[in-house]
Amino acid sequence: MQATELTGVPRAAQRALTRTDYKTLGLAALGGALEFYDFIIFVFFAPAIGQLFFPHDIPDWLRQLQTFGIFAAGYLARPLGGVIMAHFGDLVGRKRMFTLSVLLMSVPTLLMGCLPTYDTIGMLAPVLLLLFRILQGAAVGGEVPGAWVFVSEHVPARHVGYACGMLTAGLTAGILLGSLVAAGVNSRYSSAEVTAFAWRIPFLLGGVFGLFSVYLRRWLHETPVFAEMKARKALAAEIPLKAVLRDHGRAVIVSMMLTWMLSAAIVVVILMTPTLLQKQFHIAPATTLFANSVATLCLTAGCVVAGSLAGRLGAKRVIAIGGLLLAACYALLHARVAADASSLPLFYGIAGFTVGTVGAIPYVMVRSFPAVVRFSGISFSYNVAYAVFGGLTPVIVSLMMKSNPLAPVIYVAAICVLGAIAVLFSKDAR
């Protein structure tokens, strides 16, 4: 059987996507959206969680520090969880780890919604909250690279870019869903009601829908690539990560640089910008959050477009041009808002669409590592880089803003240029 490296299907069978392919993409994207929703919903209710899970007599700054410290623990757990799940994904199967990641996310989320507070069980409350958050981080560390690998190995080679873009769009849709649910809860209930009980609703919903996603994923099949490798007894003969670090250093470095670009685009443009605009231009929070929802929706569409173009025109061209457009549009956003705040939704939406360039990045990653160590290669590169760069980005931007109010624009532009250069050194695995 002559199979392509990437898909495991005959080169002559570069067919159109079938109903089964769309079903696979739909279930994968849905699970990814729900998992990202579960992962980020914590931050929207951090004030209520801080009041309920820590002693009442500690200073507010310490309460906030401890609350966001637990939130950050999820990011720190991503590399370890991702590497372990990828190890078994390369050895025992993509589907098993793909299903396990959703289960590992939904159960802790459901338990968070049922967790007794500090007034009920004392210090055990924040300890359990920290444990559940670590489990969430381990789950998302396996979900993102696992999902990219899973969908890319199911579809024909000419549709891999579209599949990766669709999956990435699903992940970003989870952020939008979290934002909308949080807005709905806060508009329906008063602040006292949110603190008393309503903060639990998003966690309970996320846990239930996550378990439903686990059920749906049982209908997915193992990827043709892994099935063929298993049949030919061509699975990794050693620890996959060892082979990645020894034989694929160039792919690891390029993937890490592109992950830096991805994290800068998401963290700065999507997550930090609403707060930055409120402080810098004194725009009402409701206005910036509405514009952020518009930008995130446009980001979801941009991911699909960028992924599709990467498969047709080449990822190097899409990422290089898209990165430069992102830098320009983000600078334009700040310039236009400084002149007329009413233009915020329009220009934030345009900037959000160009952030969708990151939808082409997983296409480069899945092509950079051979199938036998693909899961481990992507998981290590992506999760380690995201934990480092994603965690440091807010700190770096905040420090830069002390001397230059345009620091967010400068940072995003610099990292986009770095990503455009890095992608030129990417190479298809053979």
CA distance 191 to 353: 33
Q: CA torsion 327→330→336→339, rounded to 10°?
A: -100
pLDDT at 131 over 90: yes
In this structure, are residues 145 and 363 in contact, taking their beta carbons and an 8 Å threshold? Answer: no
Q: Please give the pLDDT value at position 341.
A: 87
pLDDT of residue 18: 79
Residue with tokens 């968070």: 112
Distance between CA 136 and CA 255 in Å, rounded?
23
- The span from the CA of 110 to the CA of 166, in Å, is 27
The two three-digit tokens of residue 352, written as one number: 């959000």
Compute the distance between CA of residue 268 and CA of residue 397 in angstroms, rounded to an integer: 8
Least confident of 3-12, 198-207, 329-338, 357-366: 3-12
Phi, psi for residue 429 in degrees, rounded to 5: -70, 145
Query: Cα(first)–Cα(last) distance of the chain, in Å?
Result: 17
Q: What is the pLDDT of residues 274-299, one digit of tens each?
A: 878 888 888 887 788 889 889 999 99
Tell me the C-alpha to C-alpha distance, in Å, between residue 220 and each of 88, 104, 137, 215.
Answer: 18, 18, 24, 10
**Length of the chain (residues):** 430
* Cβ atoms < 10 Å from Cβ of 227: 16
Tokens matching residue 395: 């700190």
Task: Determine the Cα–Cα distance for residues 8 and 10; give it in Å rounded to an integer.
Answer: 7
Position 1 confidence tier, pLDDT thresholds 50, 70, 90: very low
pLDDT in tens, 176-185: 898 888 888 8
Looking at the chain, the whole-number percentage of residues with pLDDT higher than 90 is 40
pLDDT tens sequence across 374-406:
989 999 999 999 888 887 888 888 888 888 889
Q: Judge contact between 34 and 178, C-beta under 8 A.
A: no
- Convert the pLDDT of each residue in 82-96 to its tens digit: 888 888 888 877 778
Closest CA to 286 of 274, 295, 298, 271: 274
Specify whether the CB–CB gap between 296 and 175 falls below 8 A: yes
Q: What is the largest CA-CA distance in the chain?
A: 70
Residue among 286, 40, 283, 115 at smallest CA distance from 186: 286
* Confidence at 2, pLDDT banded by 50, 70, 90: very low
Confidence category of residue 10, pLDDT binned at 50, 70, 90: very low
Which own/partner contact pairs does 404-411 have at CB distance under 8 Å and 24+ positions apart? 405/280, 406/334, 408/268, 408/272, 408/273, 408/276, 408/330, 408/334, 409/327, 409/330, 409/331, 409/334, 411/264, 411/268
DSSP secondary structure letters along 239-283: -HHHHHHHH-HHHHHHHHHHHHHHHHIIIIIIIIHHHHHHHHH--
pLDDT at 99: 81
- With the C-alpha atoms ordered 160, 161, 166, 170, is the resulting torsion angle positive or negative? positive
pLDDT in tens, 221-232: 877 777 787 777
Mean pLDDT score across all residues of the chain: 87
Which residue do the tokens 């990641």 mark?
Answer: 101
What is the DSSP secondary-structure string of 87-138? HHHHHT-HHHHHHHHHHHHHHHHHHHHH---HHHHTTHHHHHHHHHHHHHHH
Q: How far is CA 333 from CA 47, 107, 127, 264, 313, in A?
A: 30, 40, 42, 16, 28
Give the pLDDT score at 264. Answer: 93
